[in-house]
Amino acid sequence: MKAIVLLCLLGYALAVDQTYSWYGPGEPNQRDPNTDNVCLTDSASCGCCLMQKQMWRMESFFNMSLTELQRELERAQSVLNNVRASRSAFSVALTDTRRCLGPFREESVVRYQSVFLNLGDGYSTTSGTFTAPRSGVYSLALTVYSDAGSPGATLAACARLCVNGRPVASPSENNLQDQEDSVSAVLALQLRAGDRVNVMLPAGCFLCDDNSHYNTFTGFLLYATD
């Protein structure tokens, strides 16, 4: 019993000394007169009571800290999920077998059929078009190749990289001094969500490919801007 009384008295002394330090911002730093009156008649009970109050304040403080940490974790998880949802990358080639495309009398869309990567399903092999899933800066790369010895060929490698039907790059190679020609273009473009990117084959141009994949079209999101 003496040990309990001594413990409670010690708790009372610590509680009285620390009473003001556990009040939160804006809380009045005042003592409870009712508690003081009890302490005058029963110091052992008072000390234990004040220790219990201090423990409650500590528990409230740690619960508040845990809640704030949980909020920060949820915000970080939301950012991570947003990054994962915005991943977009594709890389395609013209064909897996020996094939030449063109020349045609009119400009036509190049539909790449061999898919290396289509993260986010932004590229459609049916339409030959990449649709930007969200606004941001994209890296786009195009390599075209042709064989001047192909039957009916009159021009060498040429194509147009277009955004919403507007040409942004027109790589071409037509030196007529050898049988094979190729050329590449690499760009960084600001695209809006829903913008359509494709490769057009101008009239009179042609491309040739096989399982070596000389004709490739690649793009990926560098970073989002929305």
Q: 199 exposed, middle or buried (CB, 10 Å; 0-12, 13-18, 19+)? A: buried
How high is the pLDDT of residue 183?
Answer: 87
Query: Of all helices (H) and strands (E), which one includes residue 224?
Result: strand 216-224
Per-residue model confidence (pLDDT) at position 64 = 76
Given 3-state DSSP classes, what are the helix, strand and coil percentages for the chain, each rounded to the nearest 5?
A: 30, 30, 35
Q: What is the pLDDT of residue 141?
A: 96
Q: What is the DSSP string of 181-198?
A: EEEEEEEEEEE-TT-EEE
SS (H, E, C) 24-37: CCCCCCCCCHHHHH
pLDDT value at residue 87: 82
Compute the half-sphere exposure of residue 211: CA atoms within 13 Å on the CB side of its CA: 1
Q: To which H or E segment does residue 216 belong? A: strand 216-224
Residues of the chain short of pLDDT 70, as ranges, are: 1-48, 83-85, 148-156, 174-179
The full set of domain ranges for the chain reads 2-84, 87-224
The pLDDT, as a whole number, for residue 114 is 94
CATH topology of domain 87-224: Jelly Rolls (2.60.120)
Q: Which two tokens stand for residue 75?
A: 């915000």
Residues 226, 133: Cα–Cα separation, whole Å: 11
What pLDDT was estimated at residue 146?
83
Q: How far is CA 21 from the centre of its chain?
A: 44
Question: Quick one: pLDDT at residue 132?
Answer: 95
Q: In whole angstroms, what is the distance from residue 209 CA to residue 145 CA?
A: 7
Question: Which pTM was predicted?
Answer: 0.62
